[in-house]
Amino acid sequence: MGGMAKIEPYGEFKEVAPDLYCLDGEWQESAFKRRMTVVRLKSGGTFVHNAIQLEDQDYAKLERIGTPEVIVAPNVFHGSDAHHYKKRYPKARLLVSKGAAKSIAKLCPVDGVLPAWDEALRSEVDCLEAAGMRWLHESLFFHRASRTLLVTDLIFNMQTDFKGFERKFARWNRIDKKFGPSRIFKLVFVKDRKAVSEFLSHVLKWDFDRVVVNHGDILDSGGRELFRKSFSEMGML
Ligand SMILES: [Fe+2]
């Protein structure tokens, strides 16, 4: 990619559950796409996960949900647009993955590196950084009120029809119409199996039902059991 990054196409904010909104967008013309999540907090402000840059006139739609108070860049791969939000909402706290901290800090002030967390927020949205992995530096989030787990690249739920070679590759990668971690994830990012397994057990202490993924469909219910099943199938739990 050269020159100024253009704003990628995106849809409308959809209310997924009370105080939980998602907006889906295209991502680098790939089948994977991406998803931003906005949680309305008790303060009336919002928590913005995996920010997607909007056209100027569309920020009013976000502000109707609530003005951003906390902006999160959740892992090394998905922090490209967070600085647009920090510049527009300078009072918001921008908390970024360790993997993306350097590149984002060149673009705007960064208020903290995950898993450093806004403790006042923990009773509404909890945060846990994935352990035992290399490079990815992903943090997971749990919105207690809607019992929703927010993941970025740790789990896929691609229900699209991959074609030809893409389909063969998706099958091998265990992401063809399947909820769970990819084979690449296991091969590339897992460094310390025991630490990963302990981390996954911590995640399972959260009482989530819905899982919002970055790549693929939102899983509305049964998420905790499928989470457990998909990681145990891969021998990681
Ligand atoms: Fe991704």
Long-range CB contacts for residues 106-111, cutoff 8 Å, separation at least 24: 107/83, 108/82, 108/83, 110/86
Check if the beta carbon of residue 110 is closer than 8 Å to that of residue 96.
yes
Cα 224 to middle of ligand 1, angstroms: 21
How far is 27 from 133, CA to CA, in rounded Å? 24
The C-alpha atoms of residue 184 and residue 215 are separated, in whole angstroms, by 15
Q: What is the DSSP letter of 10?
A: B
In 3D space, the residue among 224, 69, 84 whose CA is nearest the CA of residue 140 turns out to be: 224
Nearest to 12 by CA among 27, 3, 28, 23: 23
- What type of residue is 233? E
Q: Report the phi/psi class of residue 104: left, alpha or beta, with left for phi > 0 and alpha for psi in -120 to 50.
A: alpha
Q: Identify residues whose C-beta is under 5 A from ligand 1, the ion.
A: 77, 153
Distance 32 CA to ligand 1 centre (A): 8
Q: Report the separation in Å between the CA atom of 43 and the middle of ligand 1, taken as the mean of its atom positions.
A: 30
Distance 60 CA to ligand 1 centre (A): 27
Kindly give the distance from the C-alpha atom of residue 215 to the centroid of ligand 1, in angstroms, as a whole number: 7
Q: What are the mean pLDDT values of the chain's consecutive 10-residue runs (237 residues total)?
A: 74 98 95 96 98 98 98 97 98 97 98 94 97 96 98 96 93 95 94 97 98 98 98 94
Burial of 184 (0-12, 13-18, 19+ CB in 10 A): middle
